[in-house]
Structure 1
């Protein structure tokens, strides 16, 4: 087995995560710090609440996002990037810079 054979599934999985519709934007929004569901939704208004819920569950299962319950009255829930999620998010900065330069 060569290096390409070992890396290919990992690279494929990475592109699957960030390439899934909305995931990149959600991670990008969370790069600025913890956000409540409504804050994420207002940052990406064309994303439906149902789809946001689905994507947040998927990102949580992948270990990219943590759902943090704050025991106040009323209970608050914030979403925070994990270390894994933050490191993934760091690659989105250059993508954003590229987009600002090249996308009309």
Structure 2
């Protein structure tokens, strides 16, 4: 019988009461669910991936992501800004950029990119 809770709290995780490995054995984590909901929205990961390289203007993001519409790009940028992952330009000519919170995702994006290359994910299109 395992003594793990059915869910994890931020306090338990931050205080190291529960390990990374234990977190992944739990049936549900509301924090993961909320993050997955945001990041699984169409084009969200592609937008963040584009901004990982460097800050970009709206049109540069659009031209870096094939088939994204301006309407969806605007909507996703607002959502990502609301979640604290993207900083909106304050003046004309400034670029959208990742926040420190989003930059913490760097190792996740590297791992996904390496995995996608190793399984030839481009062939799935």
- The TM-score range, normalised by the shorter chain, is 0.7 to 0.9
Say how many residue pairs are matched: 99
Structure 2: 5+ residue runs without aligned partners?
A: 10-28
Matches within 5 A, 1:33-48: 33-48=54-69
Query: Partner of 1:21 in structure 2?
Result: 42
Indicate yes or no: 2:79 matched with 1:92.
Answer: no
Query: Partner of 1:6 in structure 2?
Result: 8
CA separation in 2, counterparts of 1:33 and 1:3?
Answer: 40
What's the secondary structure of 1:46's corresponding residue? coil
Greater relative contact order: 1 or 2 (C-alpha under 8 angstroms, separation 6 or more)?
Answer: 1
Residue 14 of structure 1: how far off its partner (Å): 1.5
Runs of 4+ in 1 over 4 A off after TM superposition: none
RMSD (CA atoms): 1.5
Pair 1:4–1:31, CA change in 2 (3 A): farther
Q: TM-score, normalised by structure 1?
A: 0.86
Structure 1 residue corresponding to 2:78, chosen from 47, 52, 57: 57
CA separation in 1, counterparts of 2:107 and 2:60?
Answer: 21
Larger % of helix: which? 1
Which string of whole-angstrom CA distances, capped at 9 and with x for unpartnered residues, describes residues 48-90 of structure 1?
00000000000000000001223xxxx2131010011111243
What's the secondary structure of 2:62's corresponding residue? helix
Q: TM-score, normalised by structure 2?
A: 0.73
